[in-house]
């Protein structure tokens, strides 16, 4: 009983503090609404912390970047209540002296820099870097200020930072296994650990895998395509073990950016992926898929719909690619999603997910891999061909698919075994 009483007493101050904070929040919002003074202002410092209460120790809501527009509702003392769309839609309190009537520009910051001296120059240079983090001239302002002050160690660190941010290089961290990553909508996620020839395992990565400014080899369409660089860690954007990346020379995340990445160069057996098939190849794909779906007792109307060109909104239809392997062998890789007709009113919606791999030789086609299975509900999984890369260094590319699920997706790796293509690994789930 004594221990219980002590626990109750210990909880009282925390509960009271929460009650006081709630009251303070309501009172501050009421005062704001009673004296609205709307205006548009801009963050003029590296980043402005938005807080839940108008005081320095108020809970942090988000960090609004330099140059971001904020819509001010009112001002109470040294604080304004405002909304901002960057980095995400948020409302809270920002110190008024961190905002200005105009957004800073590279030109305006350079003018301020020329008029300033000493520590103030360093501050303005840091703002220039925050505004344009991948511009070498922004970094040069800080380097010049540090060298003018005789701070050689800090200048050398600033030069290293400039090179890391503006001329990224790929590195494999000490003790880190060989890793494969997926890039989707400009986000990077670990897919698999490559232990050896043809062996894959779930990638048990931690925060250390995604340090800001780290570079990774980037691949798409069966070949290398430069690199991607981490620009924001996952936990800072609420994503867990994921990270925002850019594809230089882009200066920010591109929501259309998709592909594969690795922490060391992949093998020389990469393939070439073509999105266009000949008319004869397309007929062969449709013929084999029709036979595959018919074997699953799907009616003709559903099959006809499944073989239509893929519809992004409906997330159904046929997608086909030609994959030219390193030795010249041509594969046709196709996926199709067909809605399964309901047999009774209370039946859950389901989809027939089909994958087909054909080996092409002239106008001869041989089936060397397939899947046809019904999937739906919370366990829905539908294939989409993603790329073909030599992951294990054996001179032959693997086929990589994305498995679209109800609230996320994962990846699947196929390899050739006894002249047939089969899935050997699935992992790298991302989503809710």
Residues 66-85 pLDDT 10s: 999 999 999 999 999 999 99
Arithmetic mean of pLDDT, 328-353: 77
Average pLDDT score over residue span 405-415: 86
Burial 189-205, CB ≥16 within 10 A → b, else e:
bbbbbbeeebebeebeb
432 confidence band (pLDDT: 50, 70, 90): low
pLDDT (mean) for 300-329: 82
Element (H, E) at 22: helix 2-34
The residue to which tokens 């009983």 are assigned: 1
Buried b (16+ CB within 10 A) or exposed e, 21-41: eeeebeebbeebeeeeeeeeb
What is the rounded average pLDDT of the residues 252-256?
88
CA distance 261 to 50: 35
pTM (two decimals): 0.78
Tell me phi and psi for residue 177, to 5 degrees. -70, 170
Indicate whether 1 pLDDT > 70: no
Burial 98-132 (b: 16+ CB within 10 A, else e): bbeeebbeeeebbebbeeeeeeebbbbbbbbbbbb
Which pLDDT value is given to residue 14?
Answer: 61
Of 127, 138, 194, 192, which Cα lies nearest the Cα of 161? Answer: 138
Name the pLDDT band for 9 (thresholds 50, 70, 90). Answer: very low
Judged against a pLDDT cut of 50, whether residue 414 lies above it is answered with: yes
Which H or E element spans position 8?
helix 2-34
> Looking at 71-80, 239-248, 288-297, which range is the least confident one?
239-248
Please tell me the distance from the alpha carbon of residue 389 to that of residue 407, in angstroms, as a whole number: 27
DSSP state of 279: H
* Contact by Cβ (8 Å): 38, 65: no
Residue 123: is its pLDDT beyond 80? yes
Q: How far is Cα 92 from Cα 80, in angstroms, rounded to an integer?
A: 8
Residue with tokens 């005081």: 55
Residue among 245, 231, 215, 235 at smallest CA distance from 65: 231
Identify the helix (H) or strand (E) that includes residue 424: strand 420-431
Count other C-beta atoms under 10 Å from residue 78's C-beta: 12
Supply the Cα-derived Rg of the chain in whole angstroms. Answer: 28
Answer positive or negative: Cα dihedral of 100, 101, 103, 108: negative
pLDDT (0 to 100) of residue 235: 57
Percent over 70 (pLDDT), the chain:
89
Residue percentage of the chain with pLDDT more than 90: 52
Instruction: Out of 28-37, 39-48, 238-247, 368-377, pick the least confident.
Output: 238-247
pLDDT bucket at 346, cuts 50 / 70 / 90: low
Per-residue model confidence (pLDDT) at position 296:
75
More confident site: 327 or 316: 327
Confidence (pLDDT) at 237 = 45
Q: Which of 24-33, 145-154, 238-247, 305-314 has maximum average pLDDT?
A: 145-154
Return the percent helix, strand and coil in the chain, to nearest 5.
30, 40, 30
In this prediction, residue 238 has a pLDDT band, given cuts at 50, 70 and 90, of: very low
Distance CA 238, CA 224 (A): 30
pLDDT of residue 412: 94
User: Where does 36-103 sit in CATH, by number?
Assistant: 2.30.30.40
Higher-confidence residue of 369 and 232: namely 369
Structure-model confidence comparison of residues 65 and 309, the more confident one: 65
Predicted pLDDT at 429:
80
Question: What integer pLDDT is reported at residue 275 of this predicted model?
Answer: 84
The domain ranges of the chain are 36-103, 116-166, 179-262, 272-431
Report which secondary-structure segment, H or E, holds 64: strand 60-65
Does 239 score more than 60 pLDDT? no
- Between 295 and 51, the more confident residue is 51
CA separation for the pair 360, 282 (Å, rounded):
11
Q: Which one-letter DSSP state was computed for residue 388?
A: E
On the CB side of 326, how many CA atoms lie within 13 Å of its CA? Answer: 14
């Amino acid at each position: 009983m004594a221990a219980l009483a002590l626990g109750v007493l210990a909880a009282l101050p925390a509960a009271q503090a929460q009650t006081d904070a709630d009251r303070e929040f309501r009172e501050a919002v009421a005062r704001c609404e009673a004296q609205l003074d709307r205006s548009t202002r801009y963050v003029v410092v590296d980043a402005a912390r938005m807080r839940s209460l108008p005081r320095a120790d108020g809970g942090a809501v988000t960090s609004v970047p330099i140059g971001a527009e904020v819509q001010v509702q009112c001002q109470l003392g040294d604080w304004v209540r405002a909304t901002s769309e960057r980095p995400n839609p948020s409302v809270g309190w920002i110190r008024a002296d961190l905002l200005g009537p105009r957004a800073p520009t590279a030109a305006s910051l350079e003018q301020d820099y020329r008029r300033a001296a000493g520590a103030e120059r360093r501050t303005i240079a840091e703002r220039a870097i925050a505004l344009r983090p991948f511009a070498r001239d922004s970094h040069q302002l800080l380097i010049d200020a540090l060298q003018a002050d005789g701070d050689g160690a800090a200048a050398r660190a600033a030069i290293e930072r400039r090179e890391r941010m503006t001329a990224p290089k790929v590195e494999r961290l000490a003790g880190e296994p060989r890793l494969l990553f997926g890039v989707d909508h400009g986000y990077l996620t670990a897919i698999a650990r490559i232990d050896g020839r043809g062996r894959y395992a779930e990638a048990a990565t931690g925060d250390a895998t995604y340090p800001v400014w780290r570079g990774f080899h980037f691949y798409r369409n069966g070949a290398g395509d430069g690199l991607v660089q981490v620009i924001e860690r996952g936990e800072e954007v609420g994503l867990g073990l994921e990270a925002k990346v850019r594809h230089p020379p882009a200066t920010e995340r591109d929501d259309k950016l998709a592909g594969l990445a690795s922490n060391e160069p992949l093998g020389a057996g990469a393939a070439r992926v073509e999105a266009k098939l000949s008319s004869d190849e397309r007929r062969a794909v449709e013929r084999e898929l029709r036979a595959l779906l018919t074997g699953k007792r799907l009616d003709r109307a559903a099959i006809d719909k499944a073989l239509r060109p893929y519809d992004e909104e409906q997330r159904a239809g046929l997608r086909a690619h030609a994959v030219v392997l390193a030795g010249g062998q041509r594969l046709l890789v196709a996926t199709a999603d067909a809605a399964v007709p309901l047999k009774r009113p209370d039946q859950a919606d389901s989809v027939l997910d089909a994958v087909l791999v054909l080996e092409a030789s002239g106008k001869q086609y041989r089936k060397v891999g397939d899947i046809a299975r019904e999937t739906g509900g919370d366990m829905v999984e539908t294939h989409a061909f993603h790329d073909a890369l030599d992951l294990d260094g054996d001179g032959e590319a693997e086929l990589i698919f994305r498995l679209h699920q109800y609230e996320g997706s994962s990846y699947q790796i196929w390899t050739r075994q006894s002249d047939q293509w089969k899935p050997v690994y699935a992992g790298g789930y991302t989503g809710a």
